[in-house]
Amino acid sequence: MPTDGLYIHVPFCKSRCIYCDFYSTTCGADKRQAYTDALCHEMRLRRDFLDGGTLGSVYIGGGTPSTLSADELGRIFQTIATTWSLSADAEVTLEANPDDITPDYAKALKALGINRVSMGVQTFNDGMLRFLHRRHSAGQVQEAIDHLQGAGIDNLSIDLIYGLPGQTLEQWQQDVGKALALPVSHLSAYALIYEEGTALYRLREQGKAAEASDELSLQMFEALMDMAAEAGFRHYEISNFALPHREARHNSGYWTGMHYLGIGPAAHSYNGTVRQWNTPDLSAYLKAGGDTAAAGLITTETLTPKIRQEETLLTRLRTAEGLDLAAFTREFGQQALDALLARAKPYINNGTLVLCDAAPESFINGQWSIVNAEGIASNSSAVSGVGADFKDPRERSGNGQWLCLTRKGIFISDGIISSLFED
């Protein structure tokens, strides 16, 4: 029985990082109580969006959710418990800033049922952390991990950013090495993006921050993939690596069609039929007391077959397993599959996409060669566990054929995936 997900947005940060364009505000301390009330009210009002399903994951993200006190988090979890049923093995994640994690706070998180903590570390270089206006130091990361483990929370994830201004390949390798030496089971890594409107964007415009070249970024990403694999981490999604069975269940749900409800300004929801999102306006949200529907703060998009097909490609191809062509055909039909394979052909030819006979564990180096007019691959360059008995997906029934990004394709995945969309 599939389970649903609940996302709760906490739009408060104690300071603004110079690269960030997420919806959050630094002036939230006096508003936290009212905000907690509004979140709880919105949860009760929108409980039926999920059709009464059991929650398999709860994710409290931001912003910086660890700016909430243990009491405020307690009220949120109390409301969750009285509004839905939570599966016994639910993944319950809190995003946290390392310097918020004291021993008492870690114990309170454990007592609330939080069993996974995801920390924004970004780099272990203290000078760079200051440049980015992060408020923690590298030393505080280890302390936070000690406190969380001491409290009994051992499912830990950290985020890193690569391509920082002036960062060398060696410095990045040091960051990855330090991350992998920590007792964490999950690692997310993102290329630095110069988002318009951020302080970092302005620094680049003024010539005070140099963007990493594509070549350096690619080298950094390849180093990351190699080091993570060496440490036993599975590269299961473009930006995510995990030890066995420690994949982020909530985030994986976004890529595999899980139904979820998003609570708070800017939060998105999806129930298989519609997608909804709340207006990113904290003042309006507080004024409405969380009744986003009555205040006209919800936008709804009904998913047409074309949108669903595009979303399927966008989300599934981000994962190492890739797109299950049999499932795609069941949902969108044979004609859609034929058109997709024709569009995929040039990428299969140049080794950025691959057709596999089974869902791969990790992004692979293999390359199929094209032998027939329809663009169907027939053999592979020695990819372990993949495809010696490859058959045309259209000749098979049931499971079996998967369209996946290769390691070579990951870095240009956005362009590849969008070119697979119907005209």
Nearer to ligand SF4, 61 or 375 (CB): 61
Nearer to ligand SF4, 120 or 375 (CB): 120
- Shortest spacing between CB 3 and ligand SF4, in angstroms: 27
Nearer to ligand SF4, 121 or 179 (CB): 121
Nearer to ligand SF4, 20 or 298 (CB): 20
Coil/strand/helix, residue 62? strand
- Shortest spacing between CB 140 and ligand SF4, in angstroms: 14
- Shortest spacing between CB 200 and ligand SF4, in angstroms: 11
389's tokens:
């008995």
Nearer to ligand SF4, 21 or 331 (CB): 21
Evaluate whether 62 touches 11 at the Cβ level (below 8 Å). Answer: yes
Calpha distance 313→347 (Å, rounded): 14
Nearer to ligand SF4, 132 or 403 (CB): 132
- Shortest spacing between CB 91 and ligand SF4, in angstroms: 21
- Shortest spacing between CB 117 and ligand SF4, in angstroms: 14
Tell me which residues touch ligand SF4 (CB under 6 A): 13, 16-17, 20, 22, 24, 62-64, 120
Calpha distance 396→398 (Å, rounded): 7
Nearer to ligand SF4, 187 or 355 (CB): 187
Task: Identify the helix (H) or strand (E) that includes residue 416.
Answer: helix 413-419
Specify the DSSP class assigned to residue 95. Answer: E
- Shortest spacing between CB 130 and ligand SF4, in angstroms: 13
Nearer to ligand SF4, 20 or 34 (CB): 20
Calpha distance 72→66 (Å, rounded): 10
- Report angle CA 339, 319, 419 to the nearest 5 degrees: 35
297's tokens:
């703060």
132's tokens:
């980015």
Evaluate whether 118 touches 159 at the Cβ level (below 8 Å). Answer: yes
Residue count of the chain: 423
- Shortest spacing between CB 22 and ligand SF4, in angstroms: 4
- Which residue, among 374, 417, 365, has the nearest Cα to 392 in the 3D structure? 374
Judged on CB neighbours under 10 Å (0-12, 13-18, 19+), 419 is exposed
Output the CA torsion sign for 287, 293, 294, 297. Answer: positive
- Shortest spacing between CB 98 and ligand SF4, in angstroms: 11
Nearer to ligand SF4, 57 or 64 (CB): 64
Amino acid at 92: V
Which distant-in-sequence residues (6+ apart) come within 8 Å of 3 by Cβ? 53, 54, 55, 56, 57, 87, 90, 258
- Shortest spacing between CB 8 and ligand SF4, in angstroms: 14
Judged on CB neighbours under 10 Å (0-12, 13-18, 19+), 170 is exposed
- Shortest spacing between CB 235 and ligand SF4, in angstroms: 24
Coil/strand/helix, residue 301? strand
- Shortest spacing between CB 247 and ligand SF4, in angstroms: 22
Nearer to ligand SF4, 21 or 361 (CB): 21
Contacts 24+ apart (CB under 8 A), 211-215: 211/163, 211/165, 212/162, 212/163, 212/164, 212/165, 212/167
Nearer to ligand SF4, 41 or 133 (CB): 133
